[in-house]
Chain A
Amino acid sequence: MGKRGKGEEQITVEIYKEKHRSQVREVVLGAAGGGGGTRSHTIKVGGETTLPFLHFEGEIPNRPVIAMEVWDMVPADWPDNLKAFFSDVYSDPAAWAKKCVDLYGADLVALRFKSADPEIRDASAKDCTAALKKVLAAVGVPLIVYGCGKGDKDNEIMGALAEAAEGENLLLGVAEPDNYKSLAAAAMAYRHSIIAQSPIDINIAKQLNILISEMSSSLFERIVIDPTVAALGYGLEYSYSIMERIRFGALSGDRILAMPMIGNVGNEVWSKKEATGSADEYPGWGEQPERSLAWEAVTATALLQAGMDILVMRHPHAAALVKQSIDELMRDHNP
């Protein structure tokens, strides 16, 4: 509130601070030597006591991080301008992961076992664990591990992957309300963390976290919420608003919602015509290469302002831009 100070023309604006009662739980990703894993370091996410980047009113102990997506097979439908960055490493997920970390500065690697999809290559659990071990050996950063997205097959491979990386504290994805038990069991048994995914719905997000907590109270401490993100132009406002509500819930003391959040940004963006369509097809939209990376970077930027803690991205330049923006936003700014 503005108040007149003692000097005749002096005004002091009294800064308005929300009094949040609670904080987002801090989740550690990866395990290093002392923690029973082989990562070169761990990464903490969460821990905020205020809304994104409002340093004047609370603590933001951990910066949002960027995971770059690596597949265990050549992605058929990525546009050329994205493929070009990885064409030399496509056939080797370990080399691909290493390139993301060493050259593009990825905080984390998100390994997606697309080849396990029965309609694609139906790779076996054995093939997948071999690939995972190679990636673990190639990079020191903590890993996020996604299945192929087909529930039954993922239940087959995720247990094997969790076992093969016992103690590494992978972030395993994804648990869904109608298919969470086997992933949660694997995470519990082999000491990993878990992504709980809900379809842009705060009540389902809560329900799923409760279901997981009923299986294991210690795994409950290692949940990261995937609220399901939409791409820019495709309902991003729904995700934005649900994420804000989840975060308000966390800060006002709802411990069922007090988890860090993760968003599959690249996966959403790179299937949209705004990212893939050429300038010939859409003459009013400018050049595709820069438009596509801008589409991914702006989607990520928007989600950061709604409280995203882990961004899973694809385009190295989009990731670098967003990282630079996070650097700036994490400096201790005051109004």
Chain B
Amino acid sequence: MGRYFAVEGLGNASGDAGKFKEAVETAVAKTAKSLLLVSEDVAAMAAALPVAVARKPLLYAATADNYMQMTELAQSSGCALAVKAANLDALAELVDKIIALGYRELVLDPVSPETGTLIARMTQIRRLAVRKKFRTFGYPTIAFTTEHDEQAELLQAATYMAKYTSVLVVRTTKKELLLPLLSWRANLFTDPQKPVAVEPGLYAIGDAGPASPVYCTTNFSLTYFLVEGEVEATRIPSYIIAVDTGGISVLTAYADNKFTAEKITGAIKELNLEEKVRHRKIVIPGAVAVLKGRLEDESGWEAIVGPREASGIPKFARDRFS
């Protein structure tokens, strides 16, 4: 799931240093992830740091009150240091002071309890760094969610992720809430101009065997995963051939001569499909029904024209294969 595991200290009350150290020891023993040590109490941080120093934890956080000692701790251990201040002016001032002490491994927290304020600040930090080359803000950022309700926290986290948060700290541990958040991260950091491809080849869906239907599509990941999802939904064990079209979609590849009868025939041969299944039938996407005749001539297989949209596969398979 996430890359960091945060260990939160309990505040500045005396006697907490020991408890924080214990908590860090537990975390080191129980997880192999990177650690985020959360305490503004220098004594607590100094006591706990040796336990985790081999992991190079991110130290959270330097504030106007503790920055000299926190910077010293970070500098001597080589750990990155989060810098926290209540507004952008104070943050810039604090960052400059830490840089003046000679340390630059920083992560910025423009902390605000309000989602809208935080994204306004994150937007400023990123714009000033990129557009104005304001080096004080030229660092990654960190944000903690503040919403108490787990579902509201999810939406706050999704918003922070969209607006330039580099390290996002959430409290929920529910899979059903983390899965959409991590999917959003995967989407957001995918360049939509680059076609995302899956490895060309033969994919077995379920416990596919010699009698299983065979579908073919392109290796454009969006197409492939839609088809895979729908074939899974048929609950009929099947094979899917992802033909190498250079990662472009069915119609685009067809128009560009990258999804042709010859290509599909070549894939059938290369993948030894004739040894994997007893029948000689292959389902082609409805959008390229025009390939049927030539594919049958080339391959000697029967080409079955499938639905135009992947969403039609379950009904198609019900009518045809069950």
Q: For A1, list chain B residues within 8 Å (CB).
A: 128, 132, 134
Contact with A along B61-78 (1 / 0, CB 8 A): 000000000000000000
Are A297's CB and B151's CB within 8 A? yes
Are B132's CB and A305's CB within 8 A? no
Q: Is the interface of B mostly helix, strand, loop or mixed?
A: helix
A291: interface (CB < 8 Å): yes
Are A290's CB and B159's CB within 8 A? no
- In the complex, what residue of chain A is closest to B115 when comparing beta carbons? A328
A284: interface (CB < 8 Å): yes
Partner of A236, one of B137, B179, B187: B187
Are B89's CB and A294's CB within 8 A? no
Are A15's CB and B155's CB within 8 A? no
A330 vs B115: C-alpha distance when bound (angstroms): 10
Q: Is the interface of A mostly helix, strand, loop or mixed?
A: helix
**Min CB gap A234→B, angstroms:** 7
- In the complex, what residue of chain B is closest to A329 when comparing beta carbons? B116
Are B136's CB and A2's CB within 8 A? yes
A2 vs B90: C-alpha distance when bound (angstroms): 11
* Contact (A302, B120) CB under 8 Å given A13-B128, A236-B187, A291-B180: no
* Contact (A290, B177) CB under 8 Å given A321-B151, A322-B155, A325-B156: yes
**Min CB gap A231→B, angstroms:** 10
Q: Which of B13-21, B225-233, B266-274, B277-285 contacts A (4 or more CB under 8 A)?
A: B225-233
Partner of B123, one of A2, A290, A317, A335: A335
Are A294's CB and B154's CB within 8 A? yes
Q: For B116, list chain A residues within 8 Å (CB).
A: 53, 55, 328-331, 333
Are B89's CB and A12's CB within 8 A? yes
Partner of A238, one of B91, B96, B192: B192
Are B176's CB and A305's CB within 8 A? no
- In the complex, what residue of chain A is closest to B96 when comparing beta carbons? A11
Are B183's CB and A232's CB within 8 A? yes
B101: interface (CB < 8 Å): no
Number of B residues contacting the other chain (C-beta, 8 Å)?
55
Are A335's CB and B176's CB within 8 A? no
**Min CB gap A5→B, angstroms:** 9
CB contacts under 8 Å to A, within B213-247, are 222, 225-226, 229, 232-233
CB contacts under 8 Å to B, within A99-156, are none
A324: interface (CB < 8 Å): yes
A322 vs B155: C-alpha distance when bound (angstroms): 8
Q: For A88, list chain B residues within 8 Å (CB).
A: none
**Min CB gap A205→B, angstroms:** 16
Q: For A234, list chain B residues within 8 Å (CB).
A: 222, 225-226
**Min CB gap B129→A, angstroms:** 10
Partner of B155, one of A11, A13, A240, A298: A298
CB contacts under 8 Å to A, within B135-190, are 136-137, 151-152, 154-156, 158-159, 162-163, 174-181, 183-184, 186-188, 190
A16-B128, A237-B192 given; 7 more Cβ-contact pairs under 8 Å: A2-B134, A10-B89, A12-B89, A15-B124, A235-B192, A271-B311, A305-B163
**Residues of chain B whose beta carbon lies under 8 Å from any beta carbon of chain A:** 88-89, 91-93, 96, 110, 114-117, 119-121, 123-124, 127-128, 131-132, 134, 136-137, 151-152, 154-156, 158-159, 162-163, 174-181, 183-184, 186-188, 190-192, 222, 225-226, 229, 232-233, 311
A-B pairs, 9 with minimum CB distance: A286-B176, A286-B175, A333-B116, A291-B176, A335-B120, A305-B162, A298-B180, A233-B183, A333-B117
**Residues of chain A whose beta carbon lies under 8 Å from any beta carbon of chain B:** 1-2, 9-13, 15-16, 53-56, 232-238, 240-242, 271-274, 284-288, 290-291, 293-295, 297-298, 301-302, 304-305, 317, 321-322, 324-325, 328-331, 333-335
Between-chain CB contacts (< 8 Å), 27 pairs: A2-B128, A2-B134, A11-B93, A12-B89, A16-B132, A53-B116, A54-B123, A233-B183, A234-B225, A237-B192, A271-B311, A284-B175, A285-B179, A290-B176, A291-B179, A294-B154, A294-B176, A297-B154, A298-B183, A301-B158, A301-B162, A302-B187, A305-B163, A321-B152, A325-B115, A335-B123, A335-B124
